[in-house]
């Protein structure tokens, strides 16, 4: 095989149901000069055998195995051996459009950019039309704009899979050994090194959301990795983008609210009551000091935070009911 333009890294764990569709979508790319690094993260199902069959038929595939340690550590294993000039990531239960890597690689080359970013589609069921996310015209970002958009919009997010990166961005950087939010921990440090990024204006990545793995997964202590990620972001912005620090405070507040809601929506309040009240304390402290920092477009957030701080028991009842109703609706949708 000639020197690959891109190293595409796919970590997988017990993905026998989806891995073939994922691999097929990569092998069918219109850009063919790539290496595909499949990293088995300690699977106990038939995933490895499926991947081994693909590897025996296509010399672009490299198959690795490791003990279970989470997606971040599996991606790191792929990064350590990657030979491509650029890096891409795909999750094993997702799939990509045939032209994805051609468009994104060429966007980097033609614009002398270190990063290319695309929008994505959310699939919840084969019988339901995908929902486009982050549909936005093509745009070029400098370093400051990239961080600003990350803090204020959904166009730039902390997920690693809808992006192509110049390999040198990962010099001295790897995903932390967290079970969750390892990607959003790393991304601000990657963004810090980017001089130019291109948003392609195309929705090229297909993100498969399942009811069990995403919408209704119960709150557990790994969810608190979100606090490590947001604190890491705070450190990056405080040092390098001090004019944006108010936006990080807002993002931190939203992160804490989301964690509180997950505790309530998944009926874990009794088990994690102490964590709920710790998160509420963080929120009320930030609100008392920084309520004006949320900005003109944050009236709804301000009201929600005030409700949490002043009428906590009503908030608990409201969000528990909302969570149960959402679960019922999503369960019905999944049966369509």
pLDDT greater than 80 at residue 313: no
DSSP string, 197-248: EEEEEEEEEEEE--IIIIITPPP-GGGGHHHHHHHHHHHHHHHH-GGGHHHH
Task: Give the range with max mean pLDDT: 218-222, 224-228, 302-306.
Answer: 224-228
pLDDT in tens, 32-43: 999 999 999 999
How much of the chain exceeds pLDDT 90, in percent? 65
Q: What is the pLDDT, as a whole number, of residue 335? A: 54
pLDDT greater than 50 at residue 51: yes
Q: What is the pLDDT, as a whole number, of residue 283? A: 86
pLDDT greater than 70 at residue 129: no
Q: C-alpha angle with apex 309: 306 to 313, nearest 5 degrees?
A: 115
Torsion angle of alpha carbons 178, 182, 185, 188, nearest 10°? 150
pLDDT greater than 50 at residue 215: no
Domain boundaries of the chain, sorted by first residue: 6-209, 216-334
Mean pLDDT score, 3-23: 96
3-state class percentages of the chain: helix first, strand second, coil last, to nearest 5: 50, 20, 30
Q: What is the pLDDT, as a whole number, of residue 301? A: 66
pLDDT greater than 50 at residue 216: no
Least confident range of 61-70, 99-108, 324-333: 324-333
- Mean pLDDT score of the chain, rounded to an integer? 88
Contact present, 169 and 57 (Cβ < 8 Å): no
User: What is d(CA 233, CA 237) in angstroms, rounded to the nearest whole number?
Assistant: 6
User: What is d(CA 156, CA 148) in angstroms, rounded to the nearest whole number?
Assistant: 9
pLDDT greater than 70 at residue 298: no
Q: What is the pLDDT, as a whole number, of residue 292? A: 53
pLDDT greater than 80 at residue 118: yes
3-state secondary structure of 159: coil
Q: What is the pLDDT, as a whole number, of residue 134? A: 64
More confident residue, 73 or 258: 73
pTM: 0.88
User: What is d(CA 210, CA 212) in angstroms, rounded to the nearest whole number?
Assistant: 6
Contact present, 17 and 84 (Cβ < 8 Å): no
Mean pLDDT score, 25-38: 98
Mean pLDDT score, 211-235: 81
pLDDT greater than 50 at residue 214: no
Mean pLDDT score, 292-316: 68
For 6-209, the fitting CATH number among 3.90.550.10, 3.30.1300.10, 3.40.190.10, 3.30.930.10 is 3.90.550.10
Torsion angle of alpha carbons 56, 61, 64, 69, nearest 10°? -130
Mean pLDDT score, 185-210: 94
Q: What tokens appear for 26 in the block?
A: 């990569």
pLDDT in tens, 77-94: 999 999 999 999 999 999
Other C-beta atoms closer than 10 Å to the C-beta of 67 total 8
Task: Give the range with max mean pLDDT: 234-243, 260-269, 305-314.
Answer: 234-243
């Amino acid at each position: 095989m000639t020197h690959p333009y891109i190293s595409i890294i796919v970590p997988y764990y017990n993905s026998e149901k989806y891995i073939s569709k994922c691999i097929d979508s990569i092998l069918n790319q219109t850009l063919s000069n790539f290496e595909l690094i499949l990293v088995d993260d300690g699977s106990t199902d038939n995933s490895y055998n499926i991947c081994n069959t693909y590897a025996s038929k296509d010399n672009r595939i490299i198959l690795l195995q490791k003990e279970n340690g989470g997606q971040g550590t599996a991606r790191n294993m792929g990064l350590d051996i990657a030979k491509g000039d650029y890096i891409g990531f795909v999750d094993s239960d997702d799939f990509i459009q045939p032209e994805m890597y051609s468009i994104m690689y060429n966007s980097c080359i033609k614009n002398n950019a270190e990063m290319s970013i695309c929008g994505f589609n959310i699939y919840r069921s084969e019988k339901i039309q995908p929902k486009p996310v982050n549909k936005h015209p093509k745009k070029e970002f400098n370093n400051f704009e990239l961080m600003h958009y990350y803090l204020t919009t959904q166009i730039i997010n902390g997920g690693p899979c809808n992006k192509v990166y110049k390999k040198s961005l990962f010099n001295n950087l790897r995903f932390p050994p967290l079970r969750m939010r390892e990607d959003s921990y790393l991304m601000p440090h990657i963004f810090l090194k980017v001089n130019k990024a291109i948003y392609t204006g195309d929705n090229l990545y297909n993100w498969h959301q399942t009811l069990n793995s995403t919408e209704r997964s119960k709150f557990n202590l790994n969810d608190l990795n979100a606090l490590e990620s947001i604190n890491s972001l705070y450190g990056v912005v405080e040092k390098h983008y001090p004019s944006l620090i108010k936006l990080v405070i807002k993002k931190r507040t939203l992160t804490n609210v989301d964690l509180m809601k997950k505790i309530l929506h998944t009926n874990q309040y009794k088990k994690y009551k102490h964590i709920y009240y710790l998160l509420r304390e963080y929120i009320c402290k930030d609100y008392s000091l920084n309520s004006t920092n949320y900005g003109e477009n944050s009236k709804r957030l301000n009201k929600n935070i005030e409700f949490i701080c002043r009428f906590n028991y009503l908030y608990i009842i409201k969000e528990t009911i909302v969570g149960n109703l959402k679960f019922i609706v999503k369960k019905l949708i999944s049966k369509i």
